[in-house]
Amino acid sequence: MNLPLIAVLLTIIVAVIGFYPLLGKGKKKAQTQRDELNKALYFSRLKEIDEDDAQGLVENATTLKSELQKTLLEDIPQSQAPAVIEDKRYGKLWFIAGLLSLFIIGGLAYFPVGAWQAESMMDKTYQKLPYFLERMKEEDTKPMTEAEMEQFAVALRMDLQKDPKNAKNWWLLGQLGMNLGNGRLAYDSYQQAAKREPENLQYKLSYAKVLMYSEDPTDKAQGSDLLREVIRQDHTNFDALSLLAFRYFETEDYKMAAVTWAMMLRLIPADDERVPLIEKSIRAARDALALQEEEKARSITPEKAQQ
Task: Answer whether 88's CB lies under 8 Å from 25's CB.
Answer: yes
pLDDT score for 102: 64
- Which range of residues forms the domain containing residue 219? 126-230
What is the rounded distance in angstroms from the CA atom of residue 177 to the CA atom of residue 153?
8
Domain boundary among 208, 230, 252: 230
Domain boundary among 186, 212, 230: 230
277 inside domain: yes
Mean pLDDT of 8-14: 66
pLDDT score for 266: 94
4 inside domain: no
- The Cβ-side half-sphere exposure at 94, using a 13 Å CA radius, reads 13
32 inside domain: no
The verdict on 197 and 259 lying in the same domain is: no
Model pLDDT for residues 185-208, shown as the tens digit of each residue: 999 999 999 999 999 999 999 999
Per-residue pLDDT for 36 more than 60? Answer: yes
pLDDT score for 305: 47
Q: What is the mean pLDDT of the chain?
A: 80
Task: Answer whether 189's CB lies under 8 Å from 173's CB.
Answer: yes
The verdict on 240 and 219 lying in the same domain is: no
17 inside domain: no
Domain boundary among 183, 215, 230: 230
197 inside domain: yes
What is the rounded distance in angstroms from the CA atom of residue 134 to the CA atom of residue 171?
16
Q: At CB < 8 A and 24+ separation, what contacts does 230-233 make?
A: 230/201, 230/204, 230/205, 233/201
The verdict on 261 and 190 lying in the same domain is: no
72 inside domain: no
What is the rounded distance in angstroms from the CA atom of residue 53 to the CA atom of residue 65?
11
Model pLDDT for residues 214-271, shown as the tens digit of each residue: 889 999 999 999 999 999 999 999 999 999 999 999 999 999 999 999 999 999 999 9
103 inside domain: no
Q: CATH number of the domain that 157 lies in?
A: 1.25.40.10
What is the rounded distance in angstroms from the CA atom of residue 92 to the CA atom of residue 12?
15
pLDDT score for 62: 73
